């Protein structure tokens, strides 16, 4: 594994751990506001992001590289509304998508076919991540501050299970 790719993968696994922290922070915001379904959704999201980070750890180790754990930044802890939290989540997923695409470009630059194959799962995963969160954002925009609409969305997102979100990245 080229050193530049190893360094970029280490940076990205830190970003995935940050994503997990961000979703844990959102989970705690929703729990404090008694949005139990949304808190549950964010907890599953946090778990999924940690699993994404571990996929990078495993890949680096399998390739004979060295994993370097870095300090994880403190995530935002207060949100003005349910909508704001999910809009932040959507913007964050768009950022992660850009980072994954940059990793694919870097792997292509170094003709690292193993890295390209590994990253392809994440490219597909990010399409799903953005679509899922954007769908929630659009529903939240439609209901606005309507308590019944918010309760329905809370119930709907609370039905998510962890089993439908994880595939095998290799």
Phi, psi of 139 (to 5 degrees): -65, -40
pLDDT of the chain along its 170 residues, tens only? 999 999 999 999 999 999 999 999 999 999 999 999 999 999 999 999 999 999 999 999 999 999 999 999 999 999 999 999 999 999 999 999 999 999 999 999 999 999 999 999 999 999 999 999 999 999 999 999 999 999 999 999 999 877 544 444 33
The answer to the question of whether 84 is labelled as a binding residue is no
Q: HSE-up of 59 (CA within 13 Å, CB side)? A: 28
Any known ligand binding at 52? yes
The ranges assigned to domains in the chain are 3-67+80-159
Does the annotation flag 126 for ligand binding?
Answer: yes
| Residue 156 labeled ligand binder | no
49 has binding-site annotation: yes
State the pTM of this model: 0.91
Third-level CATH fold of 3-67+80-159: Ferritin (1.20.1260)
């Amino acid at each position: 594994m080229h050193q530049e790719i190893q360094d970029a993968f280490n940076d990205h696994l830190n970003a995935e751990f940050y994503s997990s922290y961000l979703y844990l922070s959102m989970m705690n915001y929703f729990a404090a506001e008694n949005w139990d379904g949304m808190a549950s959704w964010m907890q599953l999201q946090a778990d999924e992001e940690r699993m994404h980070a571990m996929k990078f750890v495993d890949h680096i180790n399998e390739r004979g590289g060295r994993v370097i754990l870095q300090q994880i930044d403190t995530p935002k802890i207060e949100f003005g509304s349910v909508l704001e939290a999910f809009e932040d989540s959507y913007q964050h997923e768009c950022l992660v998508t850009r980072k994954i695409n940059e990793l694919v470009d870097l792997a292509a630059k170094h003709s690292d076919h193993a890295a390209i194959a590994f990253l392809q799962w994440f490219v597909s995963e990010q399409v799903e991540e953005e679509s899922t969160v954007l769908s929630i954002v659009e529903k939240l925009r439609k209901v606005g501050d309507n308590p019944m609409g918010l309760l329905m969305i809370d119930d709907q997102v609370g039905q998510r299970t962890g089993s439908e979100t994880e595939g095998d990245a290799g």
